[in-house]
Amino acid sequence: MDLPTPSTSPPSEARLHDGRDARAHIVSLTWENGLLHLRGAEHDEKLSPALLRRGLATRAGLTLHRTDAPDWRLLLPAGSDFGHDLAQHGSWRPWQRGLAVAGTGVAIAALAGIVWTGDALAGRLAPLIPHAVTAPIGKQLVSGMGKACSGKAGLTALAGLVTRLAPAGEIREPLNLTVIDSATVNAAALPGGEVVIFRGLIDEAAGPGEVAGVLAHELGHVARAHVNKGLIRQLGLSLVTGGSDAAGLVNLALLLRATRADEAEADGEAIRRLSRAGWATAPLADFFDRQRRQPGRTTGVLAGIDDYAASHPPDAERAARFRAASVASPVSVLDAAGWQALRSVCGARRKPSA
Amino acid sequence: MDAMTADRPRPDLWRFDGRGSDFFGVALVNLLLTVVTLGIYRFWGKTLVRRYLWSNSLFAGEPLEYTGTGLEKLIGAVLALLLFSVPFFILSFVAGIMLQTIPLAAAGLLLVLYPGLIWLLGIALYRSRRYMFSRTAWRGVRGGMAGNGVAYGGRFLKLGLLQFVTLGIATPFVTTRLWNALMNEAMFGSIEVTAAAEWRRLQGRFMIGWVAGFIAYAALIGLAVSIMPLPGRAPPVDPIAEATMIGQIYGAALLLGIVVGLAMLSYLAALQRELWGSLRVGDLHMEMDLRGRDLLGFWLVNIVLIVFSFGVGIIMMPYRIYSFYARRVRVTGSLDVEALRQSSLSAPRQGDGLADAFDIAAF
């Protein structure tokens, strides 16, 4: 053990707070045979410097602590060098420091592990969540979004699209499609196989191919259980990071990383499904390009919140992917009557917003 | 002969000698280290902040000592996370799912869960004080609190409920009762701390603020109803109209806050005078010299400081708040140091983790 050997002799007097009461005692100090000898009216003891620790140093002087008596304080007057080579009070022993470094390393590695494998884990668990759990959540969300449109012919046309894109039984969760009567240009896949399209998106679409493209993308999310993955991710993150400051940062980074991957996967699914149905993929690329070219729509903070373009970044890469996936001699998605019915699924046809 | 001359009562028994420029150095290093460690350092940072504030607070010419450590606070926070946050998250998630399928059971669960959370908040407040007092020493003599906070948590919940059902009118009653309950369990060494704050002396001032708040609130609701789209009316499609509407509502809410704040100034100052003025530590008496206009000036400077430093000024808040009150406290009376023996209370071994989870300590 490294015994500190004070290089200078102690000051002749110091003040002692012995930790038993609030009285201050004047003690005389001498250095005898490697021990600090304290003498006062009520005190007479010899202390090994191994027990002493250096505490706060102020203009008034230096405070010494004792490892075996936590409330004991010896106040050395200023102007003496004694005690400055003692170990710092509260400083960690080498093994403690080693443990702290190792602990921090393990914690960082664990956090990194969760960030990198958490997404894969959530992906594995996602299909295991029973429909009975997710269905009520989805129903609740849909009912909170607004009035559902009930145009019979339009809904039939839409159901036809769904059947072509996802033949019955192919997707594990039963699908339920709703058109919401809202000007928002958006569509979403929700828990429990709920797929929502907003009327604004149908108004905005130049043709049925664009609606089919968006629908195929959302069905891709359902097929790959991305929504359940999101639920697991939210629960897992709130558990792992709790109330710590780092939570926000990690959460955001993880969500962004994960959703980018999910979006790309859903795009892949969309291309596969459109091609299988014999439908062109290029219209969705046109839709992305048009969304991107409307600056007021995507950059305005207020306007952007509910926007399809805002939640699905329409980068040129995505559009290019759909344009590249050419389909040999595509067939028409809907006939003129079907498209007309779909356009008026929420009642009298509205002018597309400029 | 043994006892020091400082034992004689002096005109400035209590003094705070901290300097903003010194504190800024401490706080800036804390901020930088907290950022690079993704927040983990804040436990050590808070400890250094308290150590600075305490060591510059002199009672009878001798400094207070803060003996807490960052590691304790970290352990406390981890324990709070494991014992409270995790079970709470799981239960609220379960309740969220149950709400869709078995709503009655879910409602029952939530009815237990949310009062439980308020009860925990009360316990957290208590234990945060207990930790702080037990880590505060003067001449090697520690402070402490006698209880474990469970009873205080129950009282906190009950009085909170009273405050809620009286639409806030019982606030002075609730605030003084909670202060008394908390401080009457505090000790300084072997000496008991007593508090006897009286709500009756505060109620009149409070009602001025309450009535002003009530009128302002009613006006805000009236405004919101007049400009917000009602179910029958279509919401504005034009983003500019939408922004104007939201701006009006937020502006009005801000105005409401300012009006209520100003109307409450006199009460808030009187409250601090009452809380501190009713405090006794043995034969020591406290006084708080504080007027409503002091509070107004204080918060105006705080806002200017934070806004013009682009938010960085927020790191000075622990110093500003502590210094503001510490410099207005006057201590009179006498302390018999011969009779002030070491505390017999056992000190908590962990930091105020639960309080950190609720983020309630100002410094």
ipTM of this complex: 0.77
CB B140 within 8 A of CB A72: yes
Residue count of chain B, please give it.
363
Chain B residues whose CB is inside 8 A of the A250 CB are 38
Q: What pLDDT sits at residue A108? A: 77
Most confident by average pLDDT, A240-249, B1-10, B99-108: B99-108
Q: What pLDDT sits at residue A301? A: 33
> Do A249 and B38 lie within an 8 Å CB cutoff?
yes
- Report DSSP state, residue B19: -
CB A257 within 8 A of CB A116: no
Q: What pLDDT sits at residue A243? A: 45
Chain A residues whose CB is inside 8 A of the B69 CB are 90
> Do B140 and A40 lie within an 8 Å CB cutoff?
no
Minimum distance, in Å, between the CA of residue A242 and any CA atom of chain B: 7
Sequence-separated (6 or more) residues with CB below 8 Å from residue A160: A334, A338
Residue B271 has a CB neighbour count (10 Å cut-off) of: 24
Residue A191: phi, psi to the nearest 5?
A: -55, 155
Look up residue A35 and give its two tokens.
């021990």
B178 has pLDDT over 80: yes
Order of all β-strands in the sheet with A176-180: A176-180, A194-198, A187-190
CB B276 within 8 A of CB B288: yes
3-state secondary structure of B327: coil
With a pLDDT cut of 70, the percent of chain B lying above it is 91
Minimum distance, in Å, between the CA of residue A324 and any CA atom of chain B: 36
CA A98 to chain centre: 31
Q: How far is B95 from B90, CA to CA, in rounded Å? A: 9
Look up residue B26 and give its two tokens.
């401490």
> Do B357 and A242 lie within an 8 Å CB cutoff?
yes
**Residue range B75-80: average pLDDT?**
83
Q: What pLDDT sits at residue B1? A: 36
Q: How far is B49 from B28, CA to CA, in rounded Å? A: 11
Look up residue B30 and give its two tokens.
């804390």
B118: left (phi > 0), else alpha (psi -120 to 50), else beta?
alpha
Name which of B163, B88, B91, B151 is nearest B125 in CA terms: B151
Chain B residues whose CB is inside 8 A of the A26 CB are 2
Chain A residues whose CB is inside 8 A of the B239 CB are 296, 300, 302-303
- Report DSSP state, residue A21: B
Q: How far is CA B311 from CA A303, B253, B304, in A?
A: 28, 22, 10
Sequence-separated (6 or more) residues with CB below 8 Å from residue B185: B145, B146, B147, B152
Pick from A22, A42, A71: CB nearest B337 = A22
Contacts of residues A35-38 at CB distance under 8 Å and 24 or more positions apart, as own/partner, are: A36/A10, A38/A74
What pTM value is reported for the model? Answer: 0.68
Q: What pLDDT sits at residue B295? A: 95
C-alpha angle with apex A93: A87 to A98, nearest 5 degrees? 145
Q: How far is B168 from B165, CA to CA, in rounded Å? A: 8
User: In the structure, what pLDDT confidence band is assigned to residue B264 with cuts at 50, 70 and 90?
Assistant: very high
CB A37 within 8 A of CB A46: yes
Q: What pLDDT sits at residue A127? A: 84
User: In the structure, what pLDDT confidence band is assigned to residue B28 with cuts at 50, 70 and 90?
Assistant: very high
Q: How far is CA B195 from CA A32, B136, B336, in A?
A: 50, 19, 20
Chain A residues whose CB is inside 8 A of the B42 CB are 245
Look up residue B150 and give its two tokens.
């469970």
> What is the torsional sign of CA A313, A314, A317, A323?
positive
Place of tokens 């409307």: A294
Q: How far is A246 from A253, CA to CA, in rounded Å? A: 11
Minimum distance, in Å, between the CA of residue A4 and any CA atom of chain B: 24
- Report DSSP state, residue A183: S
Mean pLDDT, chain B, as a whole number? 86
- The reply to whether A317 touches chain B by the CB within 8 Å rule is no
Look up residue A305 and give its two tokens.
């919140």
Q: What pLDDT sits at residue A238? A: 60
Place of tokens 């038993």: A20
Q: What pLDDT sits at residue A7? A: 59
B292-308 and B239-277 helices cross at what angle (nearest 10)? 130
Look up residue A188 and give its two tokens.
């979403």
Identity of the residue numbered B170: A
- The reply to whether A3 touches chain B by the CB within 8 Å rule is no
Containing H/E element for A15?
Answer: strand A13-17
Residue A14: phi, psi to the nearest 5?
A: -155, 170
> Do B342 and A19 lie within an 8 Å CB cutoff?
yes
B363 has pLDDT over 60: yes
CB A155 within 8 A of CB A103: no
Q: How far is B234 from B220, CA to CA, in rounded Å? A: 21
Sequence-separated (6 or more) residues with CB below 8 Å from residue A231: A129, A134, A137, A191
CA atoms within 13 A on the CB side of B120: 21
Q: How far is A335 from A136, CA to CA, in rounded Å? A: 35
Q: How far is A84 from A305, CA to CA, in rounded Å? A: 61
- The reply to whether A115 touches chain B by the CB within 8 Å rule is no
List pLDDT tens digits, range B234-243: 555 666 777 7
- The reply to whether A59 touches chain B by the CB within 8 Å rule is no
Q: How far is B14 from A11, CA to CA, in rounded Å? A: 29
Residue B244: phi, psi to the nearest 5?
A: -60, -45
Chain B residues whose CB is inside 8 A of the A133 CB are 97, 101
Name which of B95, B81, B127, B352 is nearest A247 in CA terms: B81
3-state secondary structure of A235: helix
3-state secondary structure of A214: helix
CB B80 within 8 A of CB B353: yes
- The reply to whether A22 touches chain B by the CB within 8 Å rule is yes
H, E, C per residue of B72-122: HHHHHHHHHHHHHHHHHHHHHHHHHHHHHHCHHHHHHHHHHHHHHHHHHHH
Look up residue B119 and give its two tokens.
């009860």
- Judged on CB neighbours under 10 Å (0-12, 13-18, 19+), B304 is exposed
B177 has pLDDT over 80: yes
Residue A92: phi, psi to the nearest 5?
A: -85, 145
> Do B338 and A183 lie within an 8 Å CB cutoff?
no
CB B288 within 8 A of CB B273: yes
Residue B270 has a CB neighbour count (10 Å cut-off) of: 21
CB A21 within 8 A of CB B141: yes
Minimum distance, in Å, between the CA of residue B168 and any CA atom of chain A: 29
User: In the structure, what pLDDT confidence band is assigned to residue B169 with cuts at 50, 70 and 90?
Assistant: very high
**Residue range B10-25: average pLDDT?**
88
Pick from B2, B39, B69: CB nearest A25 = B2
CB A61 within 8 A of CB A75: yes
Q: How far is A190 from A1, CA to CA, in rounded Å? A: 65
Place of tokens 């001032």: B205
Greater model confidence, A316 or B46? B46
Q: What is the pLDDT along chain A (354 residues), one digit of tens a residue?
A: 444 555 567 888 899 999 899 999 999 998 888 888 999 988 899 998 888 988 888 878 889 999 888 889 999 988 888 888 888 887 777 787 888 788 878 877 877 777 677 777 778 888 888 888 888 878 888 887 888 999 999 999 999 999 999 988 788 888 999 999 988 888 888 888 889 999 989 998 999 999 999 999 999 988 988 888 877 776 666 655 544 444 444 454 455 455 777 888 889 999 999 999 999 998 988 888 887 776 544 433 333 334 455 455 556 788 888 888 877 777 888 888 999 999 999 887 555 443
Name which of A30, A36, A39 is nearest A3 in CA terms: A36
> Do B3 and A300 lie within an 8 Å CB cutoff?
no
Q: How far is B88 from B114, CA to CA, in rounded Å? A: 10
